[in-house]
Amino acid sequence: MAEKAAAISAVRNVGNWVNGGIVDMTSERTMDVYESATGEVCAQVAMSNEADVDAAVAAAKGAFPAWSRTPVLKRARVMFKLKELIERDRGELAALITQEHGKVLHDADGSIQRGIEVVEFACGIPHLIKGEFNDQVGTGVDTYSMRQAVGVCAGITPFNFPAMVPLWMFPIAIACGNTFVLKPSEKDPSISLKWAELLKEAGLPDGVFNVVQGDHVAVNSILSDERIAAVSFVGSTPVAEHVYKTSSANGKRVQALGGAKNHLVVMPDADMEQAADALVGAGYGSAGERCMAISAIVTVGNAGDALLDKLLPKIDALKVGPGTDNNNDMGPLITAEHRDKVRSYIDLGEEEGASILVDGRKHACAESAGYFLGPTLFDNANAQMRVYQEEIFGPVLTMTRTENFEQAVRLINDHEYGNGTAIFTRDGDTARAFAAEIQVGMVGINVPIPVPLAFHSFGGWKRSLFGDMSIYGMEGVRFYTRLKTVTSRWPTGIRAGAEFSMPIMR
């Protein structure tokens, strides 16, 4: 009995952060959060209702006038301090990700690093937000432009990168002078409160950053709230499309990043050892739960057999186990439900006639209490199979053999998703043609996961991104600001009398 009580008290309560602290909520609905390596409940997350979202948006709206007028250098200094604090608490943050998401600690730490890089980028906001000036555009007339904050911004984020994806959004939004409401994934929500605590410690005024926990109820309240000017969303394609359509119908700016099926082309002249290493890391790292994971191998000509010779032993050597052990390569999936969904895709691939070369259902890890599934590899998948067409979001790779480069490019260009892709080749002409012809937003040449660094921008094409702008980098600064252009003249430049024709330069 005493043991049970101790176990229950170890379960965290994860609530809403509004106006500088945790608040009482009107909703009494909660959801269990699981430690994915053991299947045990480690937290309970509150599920906001409309009134709870309303309170957070009201706080953000109230904080906007003062924060948007705060000198840009002071806003930048909060980011400098935030960077220091994230680095200080990095170990604790990574452990929280590993507990709830399941990815291996070194991978969790890597995702924090990629997030820190966006904070570093945001430290340069005084330079990034600078406008333009032209003197004497007409006689005695000057024109200048400036970028101003848009207002209250919302960020809605997925489970697979509970640290990195929010960090793609709020550092830039806040540095630009906006206030922010974050709605993290309900599956691994705890780290969202760490951002709130660290921002407060970094000197951010109360109300500038707020967190609402929950599911579609909270999301739909955000989408219909007239006080929210801009919505950044990252998640699956059906939800991204819903967020895009509803937000834009409600007059908001929106960038909605969706799902993916990322192809890696292996040409016959590729270094097969390198290609195989790239594939095990990019296909099975983080249990395939990355929007930039490679999930479809496309071999050209006779590359298939040469690749398999190198790839199969590497898959065999993969270490699957709890993310707390840094010797493991791959941890569990996020929930039992998701593991079962991925497993059902393996069943489907077999039914559809793909050849199963490695079967993750039979891996020893699949017997354990956590949400584990071993790495899976299908050969001879074709474009008509659902296992090829759909995003599985697990440790499952399909291999499709093509006769030539043109066929490989056509296969990728015909796919509904266009997030990332890569080609492995030693031939410069082939690589150059691939980069030019491929209908995908992020392209790697002998680089399997071409995630752009913080000073470039991240975004897919086709049904992997709804909206016009990619996320972070200069696209992020543009998304979170509005352009204002001022044309001015002073009395000595003003000629007498009214003008009724279109003003032109004389």
Handedness of CA 472, 90, 259, 57 (dihedral sign): negative
What CA dihedral angle connects 494, 498, 501 and 506, to 10 degrees?
Answer: -20
Minimum CB distance to ligand NAD smaller for 216 or for 227? 216
DSSP output for 127-169: HHT--EEEEEEETTEEEEEEEEE-SEEEEE--SS-TTHHHHHH
In the region spanning residues 369 to 428, those forming contacts with ligand NAD, defined by CB under 6 A, are 391, 393, 419
Piece in contact with ligand NAD (CB under 6 A), picked from 31-39, 102-110, 191-199, 236-244: 236-244
DSSP output for 442-476: EEEES-SS-PPPTTS-B--EETTEESS--BSHHHH
Minimum CB distance to ligand NAD smaller for 100 or for 379? 100
Give the residue, chosen from 207, 375, 450, 460, that forms a contact with ligand NAD under the rule CB under 6 A: 460
Distance CA 14, CA 12 (A): 6
What minimum distance in Å lies between the beta carbon of 166 and ligand NAD? 10
Give the residue, chosen from 84, 142, 206, 215, that forms a contact with ligand NAD under the rule CB under 6 A: 215
Piece in contact with ligand NAD (CB under 6 A), picked from 138-146, 152-160, 302-310, 484-492: 152-160
Minimum CB distance to ligand NAD smaller for 417 or for 434? 417
What minimum distance in Å lies between the beta carbon of 488 and ligand NAD? 41
Q: Find the helix or strand (DSSP H, E) in which 343 lies.
A: helix 336-352
Distance CA 44, CA 33 (A): 6
Q: Which two tokens stand for residue 159?
A: 């489970």
Distance CA 79, CA 122 (A): 7
Q: Is residue 156 a contact residue for ligand NAD (CB under 6 A)?
A: yes
Q: How many residues does the chain have?
A: 506
Minimum CB distance to ligand NAD smaller for 189 or for 323? 189
Piece in contact with ligand NAD (CB under 6 A), picked from 20-28, 45-53, 182-190, 357-365: 182-190
Q: Are 243 and 231 in contact (CB under 8 A)?
A: yes
Beta-carbon count within 10 A of 19 CB: 17
Minimum CB distance to ligand NAD smaller for 219 or for 296? 219
Q: How would you classify residue 197: left for phi > 0, otherwise alpha for psi between -120 and 50, otherwise beta?
A: alpha
In the region spanning residues 284 to 303, those forming contacts with ligand NAD, defined by CB under 6 A, are 291
Q: Is 204 helix (H, G, I), strand (E, B) or coil?
A: coil
Under rule CB under 6 A, how many of the chain's residues touch ligand NAD? 28
Give the residue, chosen from 234, 315, 423, 477, that forms a contact with ligand NAD under the rule CB under 6 A: 234
Distance CA 247, CA 351 (A): 40
Piece in contact with ligand NAD (CB under 6 A), picked from 52-60, 99-107, 150-158, 263-271: 150-158
Q: Are 303 and 369 in contact (CB under 8 A)?
A: no
Give the residue, chosen from 102, 115, 151, 259, that forms a contact with ligand NAD under the rule CB under 6 A: 259
Q: Is residue 157 a contact residue for ligand NAD (CB under 6 A)?
A: yes
What CA dihedral angle connects 228, 234, 235 and 240, to 10 degrees?
Answer: 50
Give the residue, chosen from 12, 81, 103, 183, that forms a contact with ligand NAD under the rule CB under 6 A: 183
Residue tagged active-site, from 123, 153, 176, 291: 291
Piece in contact with ligand NAD (CB under 6 A), picked from 77-85, 118-126, 212-220, 320-328: 212-220
Minimum CB distance to ligand NAD smaller for 398 or for 419? 419
| Stretch 68-107: interaction string toward ligand NAD, x if CB under 6 A | ----------------------------------------
What minimum distance in Å lies between the beta carbon of 168 and ligand NAD? 8
Q: Find the helix or strand (DSSP H, E) in which 88 lies.
A: helix 72-88
Q: Is residue 260 a contact residue for ligand NAD (CB under 6 A)?
A: yes
Residue 291 appears among annotated catalytic residues: yes
Q: Is residue 335 a contact residue for ligand NAD (CB under 6 A)?
A: no
Q: Is residue 55 a contact residue for ligand NAD (CB under 6 A)?
A: no
Q: What are phi and psi of 229, to 5 degrees?
A: -90, -30
Distance CA 409, CA 419 (A): 15
Give the residue, chosen from 115, 158, 207, 321, that forms a contact with ligand NAD under the rule CB under 6 A: 158
Distance CA 21, CA 16 (A): 8
Chain mean position to CA 402: 31
Q: Is residue 160 a contact residue for ligand NAD (CB under 6 A)?
A: yes
Instruction: Return residues touching ligand NAD (CB under 6 A).
Output: 156-161, 165, 183, 185-186, 215-216, 219, 234-236, 239, 242, 257-260, 291, 391, 393, 419, 460, 464
Active site residues: 291
